[in-house]
Chains A and B, each alone.
Chain A
Amino acid sequence: MPVNMIVCCKQVPDPEAPPAVFKVVDNKMTWPAEVKPVIGQYEEFALEAALRIKDAAGGKITALSLGNNFVRDVIKKALAVGGDELVLLEDEAFEDSDSWATANALAMAIKKIGEYDIIFCGRQSSDWDAGQTGLGIAEILQLPAVTLARKVEVADGKARVEQVIPDGCRVVEVPLPAVVTVTSELGALRYAALKGIMAAAKKQPVIWKPADIGLEPSQVGAAGRRNKLEKLFQPVKEGKCEMIEGDTPAEAGANLALRLREAKLL
């Protein structure tokens, strides 16, 4: 049975850029132009989960993203690796959304897409790290949800999910449709093949504005928030590292032992 899947992907500044380049200015996070936008890490794992199901059972993958000013080449990676459709909720009104407004708008878009067996999300976004949106979508659409999946298989209208729990894992069966949030143990996203990249380049994303998903501009983005960001700041670090030297790395290692002993750390 082919499986209809929606993968919620967020465009974020590369979370692996050196920490020092992220600077708070006027209560906003800023980064230099050399920090490229990417699809969030956990959404890449979620895409891989969907692709594996498509490989095994066949199906359709729709990538869904909310934001503004999407860099087409970046978000189209979801198509290049094997996704079938790309739906962008793209509008100024969607900017500065919180978890509530994001989950609500994504849920409305998912309703409009209509056909879905599994909605995949990352366990948490790679910028705000909230870890709420997938479960929020599940509540709004009244769907069951399983978090922290490291393996997902589909059979007989159900998904069998290996869920990472503290110091172990459990196998959870969930009837479809359902929301599944994915964690990193699932494995890295495959590379896009040249054919996929070329097909993605030709494909036009579907763009929806708030009205297309039945929402007023006042219900989305900054206007639709249920929390208020009072302040954003970066705690100052003293950051004074004493470098232990030596003629060779091995000598430096031995000197580190002496220094540790001298400082009575061990």
Chain B
Amino acid sequence: MAEYKGILVCGELANGKLGSITTELLGCGRRLADDLKEDLCCLLVGEAVGEPAKEAIAFGADKVYSVEDASLKDYEADSYMQVVEKLVKETSPRAIIMGQTFMGRDLAPRLAFRLGTSLATDCLDLSIDPNTKLLVQTRPVYGSNAQAVFTSDVIPQMVTVRSKAMSPLERDDSRTGEVIPFKVDIDASKVRTKTLETVMEEAVGLKLEDAPVIVAGGRGLGGPEPFQTTLKELADLLHGAVGASRPPADNGWVPEALHIGLTGKIVAPDVYFAIAISGASQHTAGCSGSKHIIAINKDPEANIFREAELGVVGKYEDVVPALTNKLKELLAG
């Protein structure tokens, strides 16, 4: 039987560069690999991965397996599975770490079941049990009302990690590592799905993930209009972005890209305004990392006031315009 050794991070690219989730996974992977005194490896798949491979080393990888193939530019489960399955069989990592991203959510469970191993998704914390060398996996459950610590004695160990849960290392271009080209002949007959069309929502203004201030609205806004007027005015004044809880996105009041929470985006701005949002745990899962949460809600019992630092009880129609006007005055003066 092969000896299982080392940590494998399945990296992701964003606009041809190393995605931020990958630097986070490498930061966490480095710590685990050091505890085990084993290697940290990173898989990068795409059209051209030369530059990102160097970045991955600068962010902590000892080895980068680079798979360059124009047909692998966009994630497709049945072709990516062939790549990871082959790499895992040939390199026998002790643990496989992916991001809780579109790709990780789609790929990790398939791989875990194919390998017959167990998987913990959306982990917030990972460590190595020094006695067993097994991964100790902490993940939120019950809509983030609690956290569960799991272990599994099946090898390889598999987890996905929530974005922004781990810190990347400082980039250090003097780090050394090896880039290993890895060849996979994709068997097209095993790719059962076919992408007919891809439609991107045009990005308007600041990306939520990068905004220092987020003005988020909920079902209590009653329709699309306040997002474009009342909330946008406040967001523009503070050079921030407008976000939403799930119902406004489900109802088509705002684009899906603005949906924040367990099943939406995870954000951590300096200031997060939650306006007419009740504060369900599945929503606050996506914004609890914010430095300051400010809640405006007509219901004094709303759960969001348990999460917030400052709060106003009142109808947003009354509170928010007055807040914006006063802030305008203060910022001008």
Which residues of A line the B interface, CB within 8 A?
15-16, 18-20, 22, 24, 29, 98-100, 103, 123-124, 126-132, 135-136, 138-140, 144-148, 160, 164-175, 178, 183-185, 187-188, 225-235, 237, 239-244, 246, 248-254, 256-261, 263, 265-266
- The reply to whether A261 and B330 contact each other, CB–CB distance below 8 Å, is yes
Chain A residue at minimal CB-CB distance from B100: A131
List 18 A-B residue pairs with CB atoms under 8 Å apart, sorted by A's residue number: A18-B303, A29-B146, A131-B109, A140-B113, A147-B105, A166-B257, A184-B250, A230-B149, A231-B149, A232-B149, A234-B145, A241-B308, A242-B311, A253-B318, A257-B326, A258-B326, A263-B310, A266-B213
Return the contact of A124 from the options B146, B194, B263, B307 (Cβ within 8 A).
B263
Q: Is B196 an interface residue (CB 8 A)?
A: yes
Interface centre among A127, A140, A184, A188 (most CB of B within 10 A): A184
Which residues of B line the A interface, CB within 8 A?
77-78, 101-102, 105-106, 109-110, 112-114, 117-122, 136, 140-154, 192-201, 203, 213, 238, 246, 249-250, 256-257, 262-263, 270-271, 279-282, 292, 294-296, 303, 305-315, 318-323, 325-327, 329-331
Q: At the interface, is chain A mostly helix, strand, loop or mixed?
A: mixed
Return the contact of B109 from the options A136, A170, A185, A252 (Cβ within 8 A).
A136
Q: Which residues of B have CB within 8 Å of A234?
A: 145-147
Q: Which residues of A have CB within 8 Å of B319?
A: 249-250, 252-253, 256
Interface centre among B140, B146, B296, B325 (most CB of A within 10 A): B146
Q: Which residues of B have CB within 8 Å of A171?
A: 195-199
Return the contact of B314 from the options A99, A241, A253 (Cβ within 8 A).
A253
CA distance A202 to B145 in the complex (A): 37
Known: A174-B193, A237-B307, A243-B313. 17 other contacts (CB 8 A): A15-B143, A24-B146, A127-B141, A129-B262, A132-B109, A166-B257, A171-B197, A172-B193, A173-B196, A185-B256, A228-B153, A232-B147, A232-B149, A248-B318, A249-B315, A249-B318, A265-B292
- The reply to whether B200 and A167 contact each other, CB–CB distance below 8 Å, is yes
Q: Which residues of B have CB within 8 Å of A18?
A: 303
Q: Which residues of B have CB within 8 Å of A227?
A: 118, 120, 150-152
